[in-house]
Structure 1
């Protein structure tokens, strides 16, 4: 008779929940308990899935690379932002609890001798993915999606959040809504931009957008161009909090009140959003959870579990503060 999960638990001297965590690569399990489970799996020839077959090889730890473009790599090494730094903490937490050794690299430093790769941020392109997949090892994108590439990725659902936000503004009688976005080569910005356009067009209003260059900070020029060519909008929807906060600063510098003259909405819910003046209405991205989900997905692939590529999208949460009238 084939062994059951309870048989593995009894032989290993652990609970069935512990056996499940080991087999699924989820939650914390001590190295000693993990070794007992693997030994019991092997002895009983328990084979519920490919996961157990892989565990029977007794490889109990993995060496993974966390790769990013130059800008995000610097952020991760310096802990210098309020987005990717938190995503990386989620990756660290999961890896440390699941015997996954991680190292940071730029895509130019690409190491070809690791067990798997997490590719982080909007700078990641198709060439980076091809190079990583050529090793034959698992690859997961974090906060990036490349259409047509069919590689595992973990993203936030910016489209849904943007549609919700624009509908919220429209329901409050704010019809002239301008979008300020970052480079649309970044999936996150493009996803939110698409949601903004869809919501505006669905309601019968004309979308109007401007691209913000965060590195060179062209927000002053954007606001001047907007006011001269479009006029004063009812609301500004920023595709991230940094753009939204800078827009508020430039509007206030021109004696335009927030939100009495213009409502401003952001996206990300970085720490500065709550302490800006006025406090920024925004959408919370679950950044730590994104990092955890990415590392968990990579572990599943390392154990040959659920190998078909998937795009995992985390919903956002609306956070109303003082910068909007709705």
Structure 2
């Protein structure tokens, strides 16, 4: 394990502030104390954090534009969302501890006045990213990936989660599994959908999918269409918890018992997922961590560290509850 500044201070028998003054060559430090610090640094092979050194030497903070599409901007402004609000909490937590300040702006009100940008959600398009990159500022996408654009991004691994979930359902003897997803222009929905298709086809089962319009809530029509054309499925895999919960409500309104007659599985592990009856089996996305990781990546870009674009994918965690067998 690499040595920390506090380890140097302990070995040299000085304060951490004295170690910082020696490293940054600022402020008074006695000759004896300086020699003890330098000796401790050599013995421990201590290497100062590039980020910490940069901030200490320049005494700068960074102003960050947190950019969203119009719909998500309204949701985050009211803090009414159970997913992106938590991502935003992670971002704000990191900013607070790292000399960074953020301002929430929509793509309609983009300004090139920020030092860097976090662009959040599936509404972010290639056009939006190119608009930001034209200003020469670093940018990191959060919960969105755009193929061929080669821009830093932090996402959840929905493909892996979907494959794992399908195998769980297969192990219970469930084969007739329907997917209900959001717009496939959103990487998160597309990734989970692709995982579902791959798992179903690999197992030799026929995939069936329907697109859910969350804003206009067309779930009742989807369930009617599903039952009339396909019959009652063994299970429904919702590409997010909202779709899964709405599907459960529509099944229950038609007298279909969950999970005895049909299992329901969601994705995201929003707060409401544990409060449904029955409680929703789902996948936990580490939302706060997604915000923290994206913020740390942007900080690295701001100081010129590891500039090659990187795609960071966080694994999900299966949460077994009562809505599946």
Match of 1:29 in 2: none
Name the CA shift for 1:87/1:52 in 2 (closer, same or farther; >3 Å): closer
TM-score (normalised: structure 1): 0.86
Residues 55 and 61 in structure 2, CA contact (< 8 A), matched pair in contact too: no
CA distance in 2 between counterparts of 1:295 and 1:316 reads 19
Match of 2:33 in 1: none
Match of 1:224 in 2: 224
Residues 30-55 of structure 1 deviation map (CA, whole Å, 9 limit, x = unaligned): xx96x9748724679x9989758855
Match of 1:136 in 2: 136
CA distance in 2 between counterparts of 1:17 and 1:107 reads 47
Most deviating of 300-309 and 203-212: 300-309
Residues 151 and 310 in structure 1, CA contact (< 8 A), matched pair in contact too: yes
Match of 2:60 in 1: 60
In our comparison, the structure showing a higher alpha carbon Rg is 2
Residues 241 and 269 in structure 1, CA contact (< 8 A), matched pair in contact too: yes
Name the CA shift for 1:17/1:154 in 2 (closer, same or farther; >3 Å): farther
Residues 216-249 of structure 1 deviation map (CA, whole Å, 9 limit, x = unaligned): 1000000000000001100000000000000000
- Could you list the runs of 5+ residues in structure 2 that have no partner in the other structure? 11-15, 27-37, 39-45
Q: What's the secondary structure of 1:180's corresponding residue?
A: strand
For residue 137 of structure 1, report the CA deviation from its aligned partner: 1.1
Most deviating of 198-207 and 58-67: 58-67
Match of 2:34 in 1: none
Match of 1:169 in 2: 169
Match of 1:208 in 2: 208
RMSD: 2.4
For residue 74 of structure 1, report the CA deviation from its aligned partner: 1.2
CA distance in 1 between counterparts of 2:80 and 2:146 reads 26
Match of 1:246 in 2: 246
Residues 88 and 291 in structure 1, CA contact (< 8 A), matched pair in contact too: yes
CA distance in 2 between counterparts of 1:95 and 1:15 reads 25
Name the CA shift for 1:128/1:172 in 2 (closer, same or farther; >3 Å): same
Q: Indicate whether 1:96 and 2:96 are aligned.
A: yes
Q: Indicate whether 1:40 and 2:23 are aligned.
A: yes
Residues 173-211 of structure 1 deviation map (CA, whole Å, 9 limit, x = unaligned): 000000000000000000000000000000001100000
Alignment of 1:102-113 (within 5 A): 102-113=102-113
Name the CA shift for 1:299/1:37 in 2 (closer, same or farther; >3 Å): farther
Alignment of 1:1-326 (within 5 A): 9=5, 14-16=6-8, 37=20, 40-41=23-24, 54-55=54-55, 58-325=58-325
Q: What's the secondary structure of 2:161's corresponding residue?
A: helix
For residue 131 of structure 1, report the CA deviation from its aligned partner: 1.0
- Could you list the runs of 5+ residues in structure 1 that have no partner in the other structure? 19-31
Moved over 4 A (4+): 14-18, 46-57
CA distance in 1 between counterparts of 2:9 and 2:267 reads 38
Residues 158 and 192 in structure 1, CA contact (< 8 A), matched pair in contact too: yes
For residue 108 of structure 1, report the CA deviation from its aligned partner: 1.2
CA distance in 2 between counterparts of 1:38 and 1:77 reads 42
CA distance in 2 between counterparts of 1:193 and 1:36 reads 53
Name the CA shift for 1:16/1:181 in 2 (closer, same or farther; >3 Å): farther
